[in-house]
Structure 1
Amino acid sequence: MSHASSSEHLKALITQDDTWSMAEGENAGTPFLVRFRPHLQPFINTHQFTKRLIILWNYVSEDEYLFPTPEDADMMADAEERLIHHLEANAQTVLAFVFTGQERREWHWYTSDMAVAQEQLNEALSYFGPLPLELTAEDDPDWEEYLSILEGMEDAEDGED
Structure 2
Amino acid sequence: MKLGDAWFSAVAEAEENDHMIIVSGRTEIEPFIQSGKFKERVEITWKYEPDSKGMPHEATAELMEETQTALKRAMEKDKLAIFTGIYTGDGERTWVFYTRNVPAFGRMLNEALAPFETLPLSIYTEKDPEWNEYREMCELQGQEADDETDDETPEE
Same topology, TM > 0.5 = yes
Aligned to 1:93: 81
Secondary structure in structure 1 of the residue aligned to 2:56: coil
Taking the aligned partners of 2:113 and 2:80, their CA distance within structure 1 comes to 18
Amino acid at match of 1:147: R
Taking the aligned partners of 1:118 and 1:83, their CA distance within structure 2 comes to 11
Aligned to 2:11: 24
> Is 2:38 the counterpart of 1:54?
no
Structure 1 unaligned blocks of 5 or more? 1-8, 156-161
Taking the TM superposition and a 5 Å limit, the aligned residue runs for 1:66-85 are: 66-85=54-73
Amino acid at match of 1:57: W
TM-superposed deviation, 1:85 = 1.1
TM-superposed deviation, 1:92 = 2.1
> Is 2:95 the counterpart of 1:107?
yes
TM-superposed deviation, 1:152 = 2.3
Taking the aligned partners of 1:46 and 1:92, their CA distance within structure 2 comes to 13
Provide, for residues 37-90 of structure 1, a one-character-per-residue CA deviation record: whole Å limited to 9, x for no partner.
0211111101110100110000001x2211000000000000000001111111
Taking the aligned partners of 1:36 and 1:82, their CA distance within structure 2 comes to 18
Provide, for residues 12-61 of structure 1, a one-character-per-residue CA deviation record: whole Å limited to 9, x for no partner.
32xxx321111112223111101110211111101110100110000001
Structure with higher Rg: it is: 1
Provide, for residues 139-161 of structure 1, a one-character-per-residue CA deviation record: whole Å limited to 9, x for no partner.
11100000011122117xxxxxx
- Identity, % of aligned positions: 30
Q: TM-score, normalised by structure 2?
A: 0.87
Structure 2 unaligned blocks of 5 or more? 144-156
2:112 to 101, 110, 124: 124
Q: Runs ≥4 in structure 1, deviation > 3 angstroms? A: none
Query: Greater helix share, 1 or 2?
Result: 1
TM-superposed deviation, 1:91 = 1.0
Q: Across the two proteins, how many residue pairs are aligned to each other?
A: 141
